[in-house]
Amino acid sequence: MSQTRKSISALISISWHKNITKYKKLYTFQTIIQGILVYGAEISQIPTGKLNKILSTEMDVLGKSARKSRMERIKNEHIKEIMIVKEKQDIINIIQKKRLQWYGHVKRMLEERIPKLIMDWIPRERRKRGRPRKTWIE
């Protein structure tokens, strides 16, 4: 998340600029910011709080690209309509799609490959007290 925020702050002048079209701003978002947000998400489990931060970061960038500040209190659906991304997938759906692709990739691997062994590994020892942690598959 910190790298995403750094790249957003580096691109702030582009997202608020009047002469750059929203299509170019959207392309910049999809290539740079979305790539940073999705990186590594297919391998590890993401907590719900982190998912909400990812969604808010996505909407923050789209709002800045639409030249709307948070002080204007405009709904996310309206910002998505302005930026013409209403019918496109949000970042969470893209992460889930990438996660499914990674799962299929690991399942097709040979049995002796380390990612395949880790995916199929079942620990022999008992779990600790308390709520069990979420696994990758959950």
pLDDT digit string, tens, across residues 82-100: 887 777 778 888 888 888 8
Tally DSSP H helices, then E strands, for the chain. 8, 0
pLDDT digit string, tens, across residues 94-118: 888 888 888 899 999 999 999 888 8
Q: Where are the domains of the chain?
A: 2-120
Residue 15 burial by Cβ neighbours in a 10 Å radius (0-12, 13-18, 19+): buried
pLDDT confidence tier of residue 136, bands split at 50, 70 and 90: low
